[in-house]
Structure 1
Amino acid sequence: MSFFTRIGVWPWIQNRIVDPVMQVIRRGAEPKQLAFSAALGVTLGIFPICGTTVILCGVAIAMLGSRCNAVTVMVLNFAVTPVELSLIVPFLRFGEVITGSGHFPLTADAFKKVITGQASKDVMLSIVHAMLGWLISAPIVLAALYMVFIPFFKFLVDKFGGVPSSPRTPIKLV
């Protein structure tokens, strides 16, 4: 038995990520829609301001409607939370490079000011730099992930997918 199985990581991943996506696939979702939804969930999920990704995904789902799969967007958004946390500093540095400003010192004091709500102008500017870094990267990330996810979801839909219900074919209730 592996370490991750003993502490319950694999069952948790199975229940919270794999099973919901497989249910969507079994219900007959389209591979391109799933690929777009997964890419959108990851792209919005790595937005560098913690706690706002659920709102961003909700707005995107509301705006896109049936062009994306809400379950896939939200599950992937949830799954990439550790990646989001690890990309905050790279987005900050990328935004600083784009604007040509100096590096913001990442110190415990600056972090404490952000947490306590006493953020200075420099801290607020660093948040804007991180958002700018994400904004420039997001279209590239979305397009790259979409291209990577298309064959992945085609394989999964071919292997595990059900027959999609057609609006022209009535569903027979027994």
Structure 2
Amino acid sequence: MPIWKLSLMSWLHKKIADPLLQILKKGAEPRQLAFSTAVGIALGVFPIFGVTVFLCAVAIAILRERCHAPTIMLVNFVVTPLELSLVIPFLRLGESISGGAHFPLTKDALKLVATGQASSELLLAVLHALIGWFVASPFLFGTTYFVSFPCFKLLVQKFKPPASPKQSLDLDASDIKIKVRDL
């Protein structure tokens, strides 16, 4: 196996698999994990770069104990490539919903943006992408929740922490005293 594949696998294990296993082993509720995953995906694909961490932090502050903060942030991190790939579909969806002009995605578009010649068109394109995200995000949220809930039920059962010794012993103080006297 090439070294780059080994290093990629090591990175994925360290950054994604290990944190997920830690979350599962802590004994979180499957509903809370599914809800947090859905929130993380819906906010993580927000079409403006660099804003998703702030949006997730605001959601965590608002939802408090109803969500699982590490899960939201982990999912936000994992869906970053999806965020990048959904900007154009959100833009086109927003354009079709609003009936707006088609933003040209040509090789000269970035040059026009950099020189400031496409500022009003770019702002309109961002607005269209936001409209597309606003319409699509409830569907992303619902689909993610209903798909991930059964998965988390199985995973939580598989990785639930073992019962503590205090829970497995059903003895009270009087039982212990009697056994000590009998010796």
* TM-score interval, normalised by the smaller of the two chains: 0.7 to 0.9
TM-score for the superposition, normalised by structure 2:
0.83
User: How many pairs does the alignment contain?
Assistant: 164
Name 2:172's counterpart in structure 1: none
Partner of 1:74: 73
Instruction: Give runs of aligned pairs for residues 140-159 of structure 1, distance below 5 A.
Output: 140-159=139-158
* One-letter code aligned to 2:88: V
Please, what is the CA RMSD of the aligned residues? 2.0
Tell me the alpha carbon deviations over residues 50-89 of structure 1, each in whole angstroms, 9 at most, x when there is no partner: 1110011010011000111111000110011111101000
Distance (whole Å) between structure 1 residues aligned to residue 131 and residue 59 of structure 2: 19
Unmatched 5+ stretches in structure 1: 166-174
Identical amino acids, percent of aligned pairs: 51
Take 2:151 and 2:106, find their aligned partners in 1: how far apart are those partners?
41
Task: Call closer, same or farther: CA 1:44–1:103 in 2, change over 3 Å.
Answer: same
Q: Deviations over 1:116-143 (max 9, x none)?
A: 6665111100000001100011111101
Larger mean CA deviation between 122-131 and 107-116 belongs to 107-116
Q: Radius of gyration: which is bigger?
A: 2
Q: Does 1:52 align with 2:61?
A: no
| Structure 1 partner of 2:64 | 65
Unpaired stretches in structure 2, ≥5 consecutive residues? 165-183
TM-score norm. by structure 1 comes to 0.87
Deviations 1:27-64 (A, max 9, x none): 11000100111111111111111111001101001100
In the other structure, the counterpart of 2:5 is 5
